Chain A
Amino acid sequence: MSPVGSRPAGRSPRRLLRPLSVLGVAALTASVLAACSSSSSDSQTLVIAEWTNAAAVTYTQQIDSLFEKEHPGVTVDLETAPTANAGWPTLESSVLASKGVDVLAEFPPGPAAYPPNYTGIVPGNPAALVTSHQLVNMANEPFMKYYNKTNAEYAAGYDGGIYGVPAAEYVNNGGMWFKPSLLAKYGLSVPTTYNQFIADCKVFKAHGITPVFVAGKDGYQNILFAGIYNQLIMNDTPASDATTISLNRNVAFWKGTQKWTDPVYQTTASEYEQVMQYIEPEAAGVSAQTAPAEWAVQSSNYPFFIDGSYDGNTITQANPSLNVGFFAFPGTNNPSWNRAPLAPDLTWTVPTWAKHKTLAMEWLELFSQPSNYAGWVKATGSLSTETSVATPSLKWTGWLSANMSNAYDALTTPWAPNGAPTNATEPDTIAMQPIGSVPPATELQDSTNNYANAIKAAK
């Protein structure tokens, strides 16, 4: 006998349960669908993702507030992550995978990010986004008229299009900070040649001052190494030839006609080794996150600091009373060769699948307006990439303002097959003495061998 049969006639609990369950499920489904449809049609949240640079993030938030005021009902959500410890690549992968971003900051790929087909190299991010048609071509957007076209093409150009707004540019390779008061105290001036720099270091060392500070744990000494070979290779060649020289160098490396053991890199290693004799002895344990502030607060030690110009605000905020300056390390004994290699930096991109593409373009228009962009470069210490906005005059930008006209786009690292060892694309200055234990000559040979092996495997 069925258990149901024992129940009295009428609406049994089970019979009641069935229609109630159906109703419940229907109500739940309806509410979920309603929520989904409302979020897709009414939501006006512009999502922007940017890596953490305190000054840049603060100024972006100001632009966001302005944008929200001009667009009632629109909210701007700014997502950030630090570049250290793969925080930024992780956030970037996440927002790309979820297609949950409208304006995405990118380190610009530059022309070397698109290796020729014969290399068989799969472009990494962000070049892969460009080649897979996931970034909007902004070449014809009205706000692009504000920007220097050559700059924009170098930073984000590909196949005739421009796939980003080049918002920032810094000096990275060869970047050197100094404390003018310390130099003045010992009757020294900003060195214009390599020999002068070494002579200055000797003077400081003789007075018990450690001449150079660097974030060795994160490999910032590479700024020095790359700065030297940039100047040796570029010498006094016009800045306009930098891209061609860079690409030809990449081809030469790939074909094996240029190697890390070539004389120019031997000279680089030799100079590098000499300068590194004057660094803080335990610099190998100093991290990039703390280095600018640590250097800034020690006003009577470390007259020089190897770091890019992007840390200007961190340095001045850490010690506002510090008299500070910035110049390009003189890698040669010919002052006219010791120019600053430039590095395009934060570049705004808009994915083709962005949910609020129109809003994204309006935000970029607002950001690019010269009055707003002038505030951005002042806040971030970036070199201006807009033709009508001058690079701001900050207390440390004197050398830059005087020498920017002959600066050039930095040489890129050679194309490397997937999975190639770190030191295949450039000698590893963390492994190299004095930070590591490998003698420079051995490291150059290792780099040469590793690059050759990686290419052989790829072919």
Chain B
Amino acid sequence: MTACPFGTRRTRRWIPWLSISVPTLGWLVFVLYPSAATIYYSLTQYSGVPGAPVNYCGLCNYQQAFTSLSSQTWAALKVTLVYAAGVTVLQIVIGLGLALLLNRRGRLFSLYRALVFMPQIFSVTIVAALFSLILDPVSGPAEKILHGLFGASSAFLGDSSISLPLIILINVWMFSGYTMLIYVAGLRRIPPELYEAASLDGCGWWSRFRRITWPMLAASTTVNVFLTAMGCLGEYALILLLTDGQFGTQTIGMYMFQQAFGQQSQLGYGSMLAMLQFAMTLVIGGVLLFTLRRREVQL
């Protein structure tokens, strides 16, 4: 038996407790406390300015959100759902398409996959700055191309009818590489014998995809759909930088950010919106996970 250098048998009993105490402390300070504080602040009228009075007002913020300000709240919830659904569907379709296209051996395909994944490593600020310049309606290249090809012009991000779809596309451009990588990993786990057998049975490409590839990618789809949808339900950074929540792009996350940390910050109201966002994420996340896992079992 090897001797333990740390203390006697008596003191050694404390080692497990000490070991978990550090992460527990971290959890208490960085997870439990902020969560509890958000719940509490959502019940107050508080500007968020350190040292300013925190006035407890019960459910006043919740009441306001669903009575006098309900149109604003529902509009933000609706935009969030459209945004999350749009990004999730497009990202899954494009990510899967790219995975099928680039799941081949060879240095060139490795390079292509790296290029497709690259936008993921850019910060949101860089991506937003890049697309703000591209989509500038006076001096941006998008305007020149649109004008050159169709003789038309557009305000792009300043046009309420297309600003949300544009942000959805930018998000998809940024994160499709990640979705692709998860699908590539899934594709490589499918036994080639299944395809060989299907080919011998005379199955075409579409039939092989529908009966082998898609069902065998169920676990990858669960991960991709869940992660993408959850990320989108809390989205605000890209929107903040591109449109500041204007032109029909105010998601619940953006609305919360503006209320809690905007120029005339009201952290109490913002915390209430954070609680609404949490509840929405919990419900949608739960439903998605339940449905997708059940689908995995069925397949």
Contact = CB atoms under 8 A, between A and B. Distances in A.
Interface of A: 2-4, 7, 13-14, 17-18, 85-86, 89-90, 93, 96-97, 99, 107, 122-126, 128-129, 131-132, 134, 216-219, 280-287, 290, 294, 417-421, 430, 435-437, 453-454, 456-457
B49 A285 contact: no
Which 9 A-B residue pairings sit nearest by Cβ, starting from the closest? A284-B158, A285-B158, A457-B68, A285-B155, A282-B137, A285-B137, A284-B155, A124-B264, A3-B3
B196 interface: no
A132 B257 contact: no
B233 to A, nearest CB: 20
Interface in B107-140: 132-133, 135-139
Contacts, number: 158
B261 to A, nearest CB: 6
Interface in B1-30: 1-7, 9
10 contacts: A85-B244, A89-B262, A124-B47, A124-B263, A216-B155, A217-B157, A284-B137, A285-B158, A290-B136, A418-B64
A85 B240 contact: yes
Contacts of B69: 419-421, 453-454, 457
A131 B155 contact: no
B50 A96 contact: yes
Given A283-B158, A290-B133, A454-B69, 10 more contacts: A3-B4, A89-B265, A122-B47, A217-B155, A284-B137, A284-B159, A285-B158, A294-B138, A430-B246, A454-B68
Interface in B58-82: 61, 63-65, 67-69, 71-72
Nearest to A416: B264
A122 B45 contact: yes
B243 interface: yes
B246 A128 contact: no
Given A3-B3, A284-B159, A285-B155, A90 B49 contact: no
Nearest to B266: A418
Given A17-B5, A217-B246, A280-B138, A419 B53 contact: no
Contact of B72 (A90, A283, A421, A436): A421
A294 B159 contact: no
Given A280-B138, A285-B156, A86 B240 contact: yes
Nearest to A5: B3
A294 B136 CA distance: 10
Contact of B262 (A86, A126, A420): A86
A14 B48 CA distance: 52
Contacts of A454: 68-69
Mostly, the B contact residues are loop
A3 to B, nearest CB: 4
A42 to B, nearest CB: 26
A282 B162 CA distance: 13
Nearest to B159: A284
B52 A419 contact: no
A419 B269 contact: yes
A77 to B, nearest CB: 20
B154 interface: yes
Contacts of B52: 122-123, 128-129, 131-132
Contacts of A13: 5
Nearest to A6: B3
Contacts of B68: 453-454, 456-457
A14 B158 contact: no
Contact of B136 (A285, A430, A457): A285
Nearest to B139: A294
B5 A125 contact: no
B67 A457 contact: yes
Interface string B263-278: 1111011000000000
A294 B52 CA distance: 42
A328 B49 CA distance: 35
Contact of A457 (B64, B71, B268): B64
Nearest to A83: B263
A258 B241 CA distance: 36
B266 A122 contact: yes
Contacts of A290: 132-133, 136, 139
B271 to A, nearest CB: 11
Given A89-B265, A419-B69, A457-B67, A217 B138 contact: no
A93 B257 contact: no
A3 B2 contact: yes
Nearest to A13: B5
A287 B132 contact: yes
Contacts of B265: 89, 93, 124-125
Given A129-B52, A217-B243, A285 B64 contact: no
